[in-house]
Every structure is written in structure tokens, then in C-alpha cells.
Amino acid sequence: MKHGAYRVTLRYIMTIVLVVTVVLALNYALLLFLTRYSPSVKQPARTAESIADEWAQNGSLSRDTMDRIEGDDLWVQVIGPDGTVIYAYHTPPDIGDHYSLQDIARFSRNYLRDYPVYTWESGDNILVLGYPKHSIARYHISLPTNTVRSWPLTILGMIVLNVILTILIAAVLGRRVTRPLGPLIDGIFSLNREKSVGLEEKGIYRDLAHSINKTAKAIRDKNRTIKERDAAIRHWIAGISHDVRTPLSMILGYSALIGEDNALPSDTHSQAAIITENAVILRELIADLNLITLLQQNIHPLAKTRMKVGPVVRETVAGCVNSGVLGVSSIDVKVEDEEAAALLDESLFSRAVSNLLINSAKHNKEACHIVVTVSGQGTHVSVTVADDGCGIPGERIRQIHEQSIDSVDRDRGFGLILVKSIVEAHGGQFDLQSDEGKGTVARLLVPGV
């Protein structure tokens, strides 16, 4: 997946650009702060100007100014037009009292005997403000006029250049980090699609590649085992149900013949009836087991057509009532939405509903009342079968939901597990709620059309 590696690189570049921008911005802000607002900032030109103005006006300095000069360890001289010092305050001893034109030209740019000095006009005179030695570094910057004039454009150009440079460096570095990631990302995508993965185990991601290879192999092995086991179960069940049908036919056939033989005593008849009854139970169990296996493994093809659910349910209930399997139970059918339709395999869906009805009737020895309701639930159609009988133990409900067929109930058989398999094969849900002693509500939810 080139796409994956590309995304990682892009994120990497964006992160680098962001980091560089943030660091630069912080630096600039700090610089501004230090040069403008720091308490240690000296503003020599401004100080020189104010002292020069004061002297020009008054011919002397105020007490305040003198205190400030002394406090900051500065010194002041006023040089007359002829180069002679006409006023001095707090001057160090190594400073003279007369300057030539060359002296003035020299120190106005740099230092006077290593003292950083600033000059300002004060009337016809020149004021010199001296700072302590080594307290200020003086630089003179000369720039071409055109550069200064196009200052904003120059700054913008430099920013763009910086950004491009950062992206390029980040891209090169990013490639170095993500290039070995490419195959790893491909490998993980292959894992997702259960394809075989053979990554080269070298470089900085060696351990990771090794781990992905191992995982891929483990997944493949597990899938193969599951498939083999499923096939084995399928063949086993199909084989059993096939091999069992002839012996069962014999048992059913002869037990019925014995039962109907009028020459035999009535005891023998009732014993034969018990054999028949149990052989029928066995037949249903095997048929259900076979069907459940086929449904759960998506082998049984569903003949689904669009059907209105109400009529199917009515037909099923009528069939159950007509055949007498509901015994003494009473039943009510409520179709709230006649138009509710779904894609159904009619015979299977009908079997699911009748299994629920039979389940309600069979496990409530006392007569119970069953209410079947068909209603639309948004995009789904629901069929609920509710009874007011004795309920189903919670443990049994859990088994049904887990579809564990290892503990078959002698009475209930696979009935409810089959219902769940049928509903799920229709892309629906089966929900079973029961209060022991109060009754059971079973709900089938299938996607409507």
C-alpha cells in the first residue's frame, strides 16, 4: 500500500514544518521582548538626546539627571565649537578636556578610550554621553538602499525559502524513516485481507517485520484449521444423517406395522407406539442438527422471495392449530402492519415461527395463552411470540444464544437453536426474554423490503 507510506511521510513533513515555525516564532518573540522590554535594556541614543536638550535649555543639569548619571555610572561632557570641554560631570580620570576634529569623528562612530560613547547636538555644542567600559557593543550596519526599500518582499521571500527548505529536508529525512515502513504497512494490510505475508526481516524494523510474518502465519494456520474442522463437522453430520436414515426407516416402518397388527395384544401396541414416537423424535433431531449445521456454515441455499410477513405468519399459525400441535393452548394473532414485507425463505421462516409456537405450547403443561404479533420496526419487520407460561431458565437462554449444541435438552431439542440459525440466515436477529413463572417473549427481527 503505497498510500499508507505516503500518508506517514506527509504527516512527518507537516510535523517538522510545524515544529520549525513554532520554534522560529518563539525565538522572534523572545528577541523582541529582550530588546524592547527587558529591564537591562539601555537606550543610549535617547538618554543622550534628553540630556543634550536639558543642557541646551538650562545650561546646567538637574539634580535628578545628575543622580541618574551617577547611579548608572555614566559620565557627560559638553564640547564647545572649538573642541574644548566646557562642562563635565562624573568624568573618569583618563578622559581629556580637549578634542580635535579627528577625535570627534572617531569616537562618534565607535569608542572613546574603550568607553562606548554617544553624541548629540546641544545648541552649538556637542554633548558626549559615556557608558562604562565593556557595557555596550556598538555596531554599524550598512545595507544597500534597494534591499531596505523592498524590506517586506525580502522578508516574505526569506520565509518562503525557509519553508521550502524545511519541507525538502523533512521529505528527505521522512523518506529515510518511512521507506522501510512501506513493506511493513503492506504486510499489515495483507494481514487484514488474510493474504500470505513474507517480509524481509532486516533494518531498523527487523523485529516488527518478524512479528508481522509470525502473526500472518498464525492467522493462516488458524483459518486453515477452522476450515478443516468445519468441513469435518459438516461431513460427519451429513454422513450420520445419511447413514442413519435407512435404519431409522426400518425402525419406524416395523414399529408402525407392529402397532397396527390387530393379532397382537394391546400392550405390544402401546410399546410399539413408544418405539415409533422415539424414532420420530430421533428423526427430527437429526434433521434439525443437519439443517442447523448447513445454515450456520452458509451451505444451505435460501430460496428467498419478497413476501408479506403477516400472511406467512397467519398461515403458519393456522397450520399449527389445524395439526393440533398447540394442544390446549389458546392463540391470538395480531398483524399490526399488513404491508410489512421481507425477503423470506417461506418454508424455513414458517418453520422458525412454528417452532416458537410449539415450544410455547409444549413446555407449558398448563394451558397457556400465546400472542403472535407482526409489526414494522423501522427498516425491520418483527414477529413476536409471547406466552404467559412458566418461562425458560436463564441458563438455557444463554445456551441458545451461544448456539451451544453440546447440551441438547431432551424435551426442547434443537427447536430454539434452529430458530436462531434460520433468522440469522435471513440476516436478522433472534431475541429471547423470559421471566421464570411469568412467561416468555421470543422476537424475530428480519430486514424489511
Partner 1 sequence: MEDIQNRKILLVDDERPLLKMLKTILRRDGFHHIVTASTCAETLARVGIERPDIAVLDVMLPDGDGFSLYREIKGRVDIPVLFLTARGEAEDRIVGLGLGADDYIVKPFLPRELTLRLRAVLRRTYAAPLAELPVFRLPACSVDMGKAEVSRGEETIPLTAKEHALLLALYQNAGRIVTTDALCQAGWGDDAYGYENTLMVHIRRIREKIERDPSSPVSLVTVKGLGYKLLV
Identity of the residue, 255 or 399, whose beta carbon is nearer to partner 1 in the bound complex? 255
Note whether 333 and 372 are within 8 A (CB).
Answer: yes
Identity of the residue, 132 or 311, whose beta carbon is nearer to partner 1 in the bound complex? 311
Please give the C-alpha separations between residue 53 and each of 20, 50, 65, 166, 288, in angstroms, as whole numbers: 47, 5, 12, 51, 112
DSSP string, 21-34: HHHHHHHHHHHHHH
Kindly state the cell numbers that stand for 11: 504527516
Identity of the residue, 66 or 287, whose beta carbon is nearer to partner 1 in the bound complex? 287
Least Å distance, CB 389 to partner 1, is 20
Least Å distance, CB 372 to partner 1, is 8
Q: Give the interface with partner 1 as residue ranges (CB under 8 A).
A: 241-242, 244-246, 248-254, 256-257, 260, 276, 279-280, 283, 287, 290-291, 294, 300-301, 303, 308, 310-311, 314-315, 317-318, 321-322, 332-335, 338
Least Å distance, CB 232 to partner 1, is 19
Neighbours of 184 (CB within 10 A): 20
Identity of the residue, 159 or 257, whose beta carbon is nearer to partner 1 in the bound complex? 257
Least Å distance, CB 315 to partner 1, is 5
Identity of the residue, 241 or 382, whose beta carbon is nearer to partner 1 in the bound complex? 241
Least Å distance, CB 240 to partner 1, is 11
Name, in order, each residue with C-beta under 8 angstroms of 13's C-beta and a sequence gap of 6 or more: 167, 170, 171, 174
As a whole number of angstroms, the distance between CA 124 and CA 129 comes to: 16
Least Å distance, CB 361 to partner 1, is 16
As a whole number of angstroms, the distance between CA 86 and CA 126 comes to: 10
Burial of 120 (0-12, 13-18, 19+ CB in 10 A): buried
Identity of the residue, 290 or 399, whose beta carbon is nearer to partner 1 in the bound complex? 290
Question: Which residue reads 423501522 in cell numbers?
Answer: 378
Identity of the residue, 211 or 373, whose beta carbon is nearer to partner 1 in the bound complex? 373
Least Å distance, CB 224 to partner 1, is 27
Name, in order, each residue with C-beta under 8 angstroms of 385's C-beta and a sequence gap of 6 or more: 353, 356, 357, 360, 370, 371, 372, 441, 442, 443
